[in-house]
Structure 1
Amino acid sequence: MRQIYKYNMKRFLEGELVDLYIPSEKFIQTNQTFEWWNNSKITKFLESGIKRNTLDDQLEYFKNTQNITFFYDDKTSIIGTTILQDINASKKTAIIGFIRGEAKKDNTPPLQTLEAIAHTMDYAFNTLELERIFAIHHIGHIRFSHLLSLLGYRLEGIFRKDFIKNDWSEIDDRIHTVCHREDYNLIISKRGGSLWDQHKKMLQRAKLLPKTPFHILLQDFFNSHRDYYNNIFSL
């Protein structure tokens, strides 16, 4: 198979809305993507972004990291990354993350990041043979976390005060979700063997999602039963 190179990177996968690329030292040296981590709007829901990121920091990270990172484009320019981190070979687990570094243009199709995540998950389950992939989000990211349920993620809990940033000046809750292999297998059996089948179909599925995210239902349950543990602690 002929290798395709673009942006000084080898293309890993050609998708519908996005293509995935393997990071290269030359790409890191000749672009400004390291500045994404210095943009407070981009890192709003990330614990990173406390210390200013430099080109040298970025080069050092990619030189030494055990994480697996893909850059993805919109067919014309690089717009974000997906990452598999904390990969545990014995437990067959990993945490998936992403950064959308470039704002979506009004005339571009939605769900580009969702497609990039879907392809990254296909790689994790099929090539790395993982059994579980965790996705952990700031409580303010409920809308996108709800969208991720289309890729098999189930809510496992809301961790109180689990998001800590800027030397404890920013504290909030985080949403813990996970995609299990059995759920992954169920979904791909209905979509022709991969999580992402077609943009038009994914848009329709997104419109059919329940209006109230399960995360909100769980929050409401906790709030309505707040006295449960308070009564116990007062015994």
Structure 2
Amino acid sequence: MDHTNSSNHRPRPTGNKWGAGRPPPPPLSMQEGLPPAASSGYGRHLMLEDRPKSTAMLSLGIRSLQALCSLVSFSLMASSNQSYSYHTGFTKISVNLHYSDFPPFSFLVAAMVLTFVWSLGILLRDLFELCGWGRLQLARWRIWACFLTDTLLVLLSFGAGCAAAGVTTINGLLCDSQIQGQMCGLAKAAAGFAFCAWASLLPTFGFALICVFREYN
């Protein structure tokens, strides 16, 4: 008499547990149309979003304006050196004025050089992406880099413009003498372009701030 259980003679399914020839159901993240990492919360911090070309073109234009204003500002200030001489009755004294003799002007040149380098770098990146040499994407590290750098440059450019304007216009420390008229005019123009660079930094700072808020909301 065969005491073997009849269930042992049932055919065993081959392949996966869902039956032969029948694929298992897709993961929940694929059913929702999201990548697995993004649905689990981990990919939210590493997420890449496609950036439309219109946004890249707008960024290219704004960065070009930033680079132009900062370039003109520190070029005017760097060329504002002036030499003059005067007589004391017995001797002739020659004086050479350089922008580095005034700390506010040195601060303006440093801030505008930093703004120019940063804007030129982002400008070239946008240009490469628009030419098809890169991917139009917004990565989390790139958003944070733009936000932090633009925040720093907004503060530096505004402070540099105010410092230069305080020396040339508000207090009149430099422009009281007619001898220093040429240097005074160039310094005023450099301060004006510093404010233009500050104003052109505000749109990119606002866009980066919105992207940061969207990342955590």
TM score, norm. by length of structure 1: 0.23
Structure holding more helix per residue? 2
- Max Rg structure: 2
Structure holding more strand per residue? 1
